[in-house]
Amino acid sequence: MINIVVVSHSALLAKGVEELARQMMRGDGCKLALAAGVDDVEHPIGTDAIKVMEAIESVSDCTAIVVLMDLGSALLSAETALELLDPEIAARVTLCSAPLVEGTLAALVAANSGGSLEQVLAEAQGALQAKQAQLGEMIPGQKPLNLPLKKGKSLSWKVQNPHGLHARPAARLAETLALFDAELVLEKNGQCANPRSLNQLALLQVHRGDTIRLIADGVQADEALAAFKALAEHHFGEIVSESQQPSLHGIPVEESISSGPILQVARFWPQIVERRVGPDDVLNEQQRLRVALQHTLNDLNKLAERTGALIGKPQAAIFGAHCMLLDDPDLQHAAYTRIAQYQCNAEQAWQKELELIAADYRAMDDEYMRARELDVRDILRRSLSHLQQQPIPPILITAPSILILEELMPSEVVMLDRRMVLGICLSGGSALSHTAILAKTMGIPMVVGMSGCMTKTHTGQKAMLDAARGVLQLSH
């Protein structure tokens, strides 16, 4: 494995490069680490050799590390970091002079595809070739690919992608074909390219309506052609011709593209039986509520610990806030008073008090604060489940799937197995809810407000989720 480190004067610039890179990467064949900016609130622009060293160490579980930098002093910081590193790690580090944005993307695709260090460096260094060719500039040292067109088997495809084989679908093609033991060449109108190279694919300048032909020869030629055909039929991972296939639309949260089977998840809410209680039962109902709230508080503390360990302390604070709301003496006193005054059971009293709080949030002008009503209902559901002794069923996922739900609670998101979730579509929800914020932090493609997603899909149905556009395309 070859990992990549980006060194930049600007944390925002580095984050932008990372966001682009995540759009290109599939699988876990390469790790990316950032060393950007300095810890100075008033003057955040700069580079720090210690940060560079720590970034390199964080991805040192590999055979080689390629470091890309933006400006001259970033190189100085990287060179200083090499002197600070353990010699064994430093010996595996290569500083690369390629352009930061284009070079990082090209290097990541090559590394994620299992390319050698030489191939990764060559892709990074040649990352400007497509731009130079499009602008009519001379490309120093460019050599045409010379593979015999008459050799091997071939398969042709007319590209239907609206923007042709731009960076993202080209990256999918390069990574897919990297797996096969075969000699491969992609041809368009007599011009040839290595389909395992993002740069070579860009030089072909494949537009919508162009016909491309993959020629394969070798041990796994048939497998390579079959993989090419399957990827092409899915338009290299992009949504195409929405008028020909049914699709649903919503609001993007975490932007990515994924495809796989749908798994519909039914919404669970504890069944509440309303009943009046006698004067002698008031203390018993108050005690029932007191015990249920303590169990709920224990649950929330465990969720905060899990979130802090798996995602981060800022995200764990979400459940810390839940604990503060639940443990509010005034709120609890109001519920106990309601039980005594109206002689209702604990469930009715507690539900009424929390519904009043949720309604207050929904009435707020600020959209971010309105989204907090979901947190209140998350707490309510959990405490009612303890009162009713109806455990909240976990979301069981037996194979990687796109989850379709009416709504998803923040406490449910952090319990998901990220490896099994290809994406999430909610018929309701808000892009500013803590559910959306947690999903985004976990890197889960997500779309909210997708009206009809529960009624127009079914479990097992194949679909492609383009979370960048908020579109779920369904197979027939």
Predicted pLDDT of residue 406: 95
Most confident of the following: 84-98, 285-299, 357-371: 285-299
Does the CA dihedral 80-85-88-89 come out positive or negative? Answer: negative
Residue 163 has pLDDT above 90, yes or no: no
Predicted pLDDT of residue 240: 62
Query: Which tokens belong to 234?
Result: 């899915």
Residue 147 has pLDDT above 60, yes or no: no
Q: Over range 61-65, report the average pLDDT.
A: 92
Q: pTM (2 decimals)?
A: 0.54
Residue 139 has pLDDT above 90, yes or no: no
Spatial contact of 318 and 307, defined as CB atoms under 8 Å apart: yes
Predicted pLDDT of residue 27: 58
Q: Over range 319-330, report the average pLDDT.
A: 94
- Rounded to an integer, what is the distance from CA 174 to the centroid of its chain? 21
* Residue ranges of the chain that CATH labels 3.50.30.10: 247-267+394-474
Residue 224 has pLDDT above 50, yes or no: yes
Calculate what percentage of the chain has a pLDDT beyond 70.
Answer: 92
Q: Which of 166, 207, 249, 295 is catalytic?
A: 166
Predicted pLDDT of residue 143: 52
163 is catalytic: no
Secondary-structure class of domain 247-267+394-474 per CATH: alpha beta
* Residue ranges of the chain that CATH labels 3.40.50.510: 2-125
Distance CA 2, CA 422 (A): 25
- The residues pairing with 403 across neighbouring beta strands, listed in sequence order, are 263, 424
Alpha helices, DSSP H, located in 327-409? 329-342, 346-362, 367-370, 373-388
pLDDT grade for 222, boundaries at 50, 70 and 90: confident
Q: Which of 234, 235, 322, 434 is catalytic?
A: 434
pLDDT grade for 239, boundaries at 50, 70 and 90: low
Listed range (215-229, 252-266, 387-401) with the worst mean pLDDT: 252-266
Residue 213 has pLDDT above 60, yes or no: yes
Spatial contact of 428 and 451, defined as CB atoms under 8 Å apart: no
pLDDT digits (tens, 9 = 90+) for 437-450: 999 999 899 999 99
Return the CATH architecture of domain 153-237: 2-Layer Sandwich (3.30)
Q: How much is the CA Rg of the chain, to the nearest whole Å? A: 27
Residue type, position 36, single letter: A
Alpha helices, DSSP H, located in 47-164? 49-58, 72-84, 87-90, 100-112, 117-125, 129-134
CATH of 279-388, one of 3.40.50.150, 1.10.274.10, 3.10.350.10, 3.90.1150.200: 1.10.274.10
Beta-strand relationship, 446-448 and 421-426 = parallel
pLDDT digits (tens, 9 = 90+) for 68-98: 999 888 899 999 999 999 999 999 999 998 8
Q: What is the 8-class DSSP label of residue 276?
A: B
Distance CA 157, CA 351 (A): 59
Residue type, position 38, single letter: V
Predicted pLDDT of residue 373: 96
Distance CA 425, CA 449 (A): 8
Residue 210 has pLDDT above 70, yes or no: yes
Most confident of the following: 272-276, 297-301, 459-463: 297-301
Instruction: Between 142 and 419, name the one with better pLDDT.
Output: 419
* Residue ranges of the chain that CATH labels 1.10.274.10: 279-388
pLDDT grade for 242, boundaries at 50, 70 and 90: very low
Q: Over range 417-425, report the average pLDDT.
A: 92
Listed range (37-41, 240-244, 338-342) with the worst mean pLDDT: 240-244
434 is catalytic: yes
Q: Over range 276-282, report the average pLDDT.
A: 90
Torsion, Cα 388 394 396 397, to 10 degrees, reads 150
Question: What number does CATH give the domain 2-125?
Answer: 3.40.50.510
Distance CA 215, CA 210 (A): 16
* Mean pLDDT across the chain: 87
Which among 409, 404, 338 is positioned nearest to 380, based on CA atoms?
409
Q: Which of 9, 234, 235, 386 is catalytic?
A: 9
